[in-house]
Structure 1
Amino acid sequence: MDATTVLVNLIIFSSLFGIIYVYLTSRNKERLALIEKGADASVFNSGRKFSFSEGILNIALLAIGIGVGVLIGASLEQGGMDSDVSYPACIFIFGGLGLLVSFFINRKLAKQEN
């Protein structure tokens, strides 16, 4: 590993840490200011909770879509298409389709809960 690789990795990770740190501290300051002004604590819980099963469903369908994309990309490469085009295109297309299917399934499940 040369010095530029180490420097680039250090810059990337420190930037990510800085962004997360600023986000969390500013959110904390906003909440403290609202509490000091007498706002109700229910303001912080107004959003819908993201359940663990929805996350697993999203990841599973994304992985299935990526796997199908790799298989279709390989078959397109065997058919004569350039592998630099077939693999990324199929991975993104089928991964996106997997996330889209996951969105519709999660929406249907949320309607059934209500």
Structure 2
Amino acid sequence: MHGPEVAIAINAIVWPFIAAIVFFYMYFSHRTKIRLALIESGRDASIFRRNAVDKLRSLKHGIVALMAGIGLLFGGFFDAIGMDDDVAYFAGVLLFVGAGLVMFYFYVSRMADVHEQESDIL
């Protein structure tokens, strides 16, 4: 590699890091200014906190992604033992994603029952 090629390679590595640093600086400084303005106006910054619904949504998406990956692995296994490859991957993903959503439903139902019992005690 000679002159211009080295410069291009260095720029390809350096500029994304500089852009990331500038982005994070702007994000956090802007966030701090907003929160300070809220505090000065007498309001609470609790509007920025995530609630339980967001956490459950993230959990659901994580379970679906994990089970889809496992379904793809099993689809490869089904393909290797002789099943048609289109059917094997499709069936594997659908079976495992469906099982993950059912597990999530039972988890949410169980947590709702626990919270209901706790509120009865109090």
Which has the larger Rg?
A: 2
TM-score, normalised via structure 2 length? 0.46
Higher relative contact order (CA 8 A, sep 6+): 1
TM-score, normalised via structure 1 length? 0.48
